[in-house]
Amino acid sequence: MLYYNPTFDKECPPWLYISYALGLFLYQTFDACDGLQARRTGQSGPLGELFDHCVDALNTTLEVLIFASVTNMGYGWSVVASQFATLLNFYMSTWEEYHTGTLFLSAFSGPVEGILIVVAIFTITAFTGPQFWHSELFSLLNNNIIETLESVHELPDIVKHMTLIDVYLVFAGVGLIFNIQAASSHVLAARAKKNLPFLPAIYELIPFLFFFGTLMVWILISPTILYGYLLPLAFATGIISAFTVGRIITAHVTSQKFPLWNPLLFMPSIGIAVNILSKLFGWDETLSEVAAVWAGLGLSIGVYGSFIAEIIVEITTYLDIGCLYIKHPNVDKVK
C-alpha cells in the first residue's frame, strides 16, 4: 500500500489485491487458532491475551487503510469516519470484556463475518478494479426493480446516486450501532449482577470520545492535514487507540482499575493549540501542522513501543515464561 497507493486514489496490479485478500484471510485463521494452540500446549496466559488484543488493535487501523486503498476512497472524511467507527467498535468490545470477563461475538461480528466480507471485496477488486466500487447501485440493478421501488415511494436523489462503497459504509454503520447496543447491554447486566451502578462504566467511554472529538475539530480547522497528511495522522490515531486499548487489557488481566486517561489522548488538543498559536504569531501554518502530525506519530510509536516492551519484560520475568517461545513445556498437555 505504501509503495503502490499511499494516496488511496490509484489502481494497483491485480496480484496485490489477491495478496491483501490472502493475507487478511490467513490473519483471521491464525487469530482464531492461536488460543486453541495455547491451550493445547498448556501455554495460555495473560501475555498471550495481551498479544492477541494488541495485535488486533494495530491491525484494525491497517485494515481500514488497506480497504481505503483498495476501494480508492481517496483522502477525505470517509476514511476518518471509517477509522472512527472501526476503532470505536474495538474499544467498546474491550470495554465490554473488561466488565464481563467474556469476549462476546455478535450475530454479525467484525472478526468473522466482517473480515470475510472485506476479503471478498479485495478478491472482487482484483478482477473488476477499484472503480467498480464507485458504480451507482441503481445503475447495476434491473430497470424493473427500480420502477417497482419508485412506484412504492419516490426515491431521494441521495439514495438514487449511492455508490457500492456508500452502501457498504451504511451497512457497516448500522452494524456498529447494533454492536454498541449489545456491548452496553452486556456491561449493564454484568454490573447489575454485582450490584454496581452503570453510569461509572459509561464515563469510561469519555476519554475515547474526547480523543476523536478533538481530532475531528483539529481536522476541521486544518484541512491541509486531511487532504495532504491523512496517512501519518491515521497511523498515529491507530497507535494511540492501540495503546489505550492495551492499557485496558492490561488492567483486565491484572485486576486493576479501568485506566481512563493517558497523555497521548491529548495529541489532537495540542494540534489545535499549535494551529491557534500559528495564526496568532504568524507562523507558517502548513509547516506547523505537518510538524505536529509527524511529531505525534513519532511520539505515539515511542510510547507504545516502550509500553509493549515493558509489559513483555515484566510478565515474562514475573511468570518465568518465554515470549514467542515455550520456556517450560507442559509435557502432559502436549501428550
pTM confidence score: 0.90
As beta bridge partners, residue 163 has 136
**pLDDT confidence of 153, banded at 50, 70, 90?**
low
Task: Write the pLDDT tens digit of every residue in 255-309.
Answer: 899 999 999 999 999 999 999 999 899 888 889 999 999 999 999 999 999 999 9
Task: Write the pLDDT tens digit of every residue in 178-225.
Answer: 888 989 999 999 999 999 999 999 999 999 999 999 999 999 999 999
Task: Write the pLDDT tens digit of every residue in 227-244.
Answer: 999 999 999 999 999 999
46 Cβ contact list (under 8 Å, min separation 6): 253, 254, 315, 319
Question: What single string gives the DSSP state of each residue in 138-198?
Answer: HHHS-HHHHHHHHHHSPPPHHHHT-BHHHHHHHHHHHHHHHHHHHHHHHHHHHHHHTT--S
In this prediction, residue 188 carries a pLDDT of 93
Q: How far is CA 68 from the centre of its chain?
A: 13
Higher pLDDT, 252 or 329: 252
Which triple of cell numbers denotes residue 31? 487469530
pLDDT at 151 over 70: no
**Closest to 73 (Cα-Cα) out of 125, 148, 34, 145:** 125
Q: Are 187 and 96 in contact (CB under 8 A)?
A: yes
As beta bridge partners, residue 136 has 163
C-alpha 263/C-alpha 280 separation (Å) is 25
